[in-house]
Amino acid sequence: MYHLFKQITFGLDNRDPFIEGVDAKGAKQPIDTRAVNERYPHAVLFGGTCGGTIISPTWILTAGHCTLFNDGRGVLAGTNNSDVSGVYRFTKRLIIHPLFSVGPYWLNAEEFNLKQVAARWDFLLAELEEPLPLDGKIMAAAKLDDQPDLSAGLDVGYAGYGTDHHGGTMRSEMHAMELSVQSNEVCSKLEQFEAKDMLCAKGRPPRYDSACNGDSGSGLVDNNGRLVGVASWVENDAFECRNGNLVVFSRVSSVREWIRQVTNI
């Protein structure tokens, strides 16, 4: 998932190597945005161009690479539509994981024959100036995953405001994606995949959801609300939003102790 925000301005072109895919709307399936908000009350819009997850009234977990494209000044919570009033909070501290690194996104992938651009330890903790009201409409993720291994086939999903096609604009309505965790063996076909800090998932039939520009940082949760991953990058060159692509998430269990040390959560 290359940062699902396309405006890279480091030269060459405006392609974004971070997260791509198609949502329920793009797959021509009806979507009830109210239901999306009810299922993902922990999902936020971070900095206007990324997703994020509430892990406490004052802390948001998102992707480290999101700060490459926006200043992370604030988050919007408690709404399924960014054009409608929600709860906005300014951030006062942004803490990137100390091992965070990102692939050569400034290069022309075709010219240099780069099959994949990836991020390692792609995590960012954002502390809010004021707490969010956890009133049911807004909630923290039920649990932060601390298990090193996830079962292949586990049903998971995420919600975000990413585009429905490459080069598009962020959508105002939150959308949801339904995926299944893949085995490390399947994920390892991606050259940059590292099971230590990554997991991958693939859309379930019939939609075969993936991800797209602007979905980076969104939290991957299981059916019990357990937060297992943070949207990071996507299979192939990420210059197209395609159903069926493997989506790579940063593995939350790999940084559970770091989160605890920083936030006391």
Rounded Cα distance, 234 and 2, in Å: 6
Distances (CA, A) of 134 to 56, 81, 87, 104, 125: 9, 18, 11, 39, 18
Q: Please tell me which residue in 3, 42, 145, 216 is annotated as part of the active site.
A: 216
Residue whose pair of structure tokens reads 């859309």 in the numeric block: 203
Distances (CA, A) of 26 to 74, 92, 204, 212, 243: 28, 35, 15, 11, 9
Q: Please tell me which residue in 65, 97, 166, 175 is annotated as part of the active site.
A: 65
User: Quick check: is 65 catalytic?
Assistant: yes
Rounded Cα distance, 263 and 123, in Å: 14
Q: Please tell me which residue in 3, 16, 23, 122 is annotated as part of the active site.
A: 122
Largest CA distance in the chain: 51
The catalytic residues are 65, 122, 216
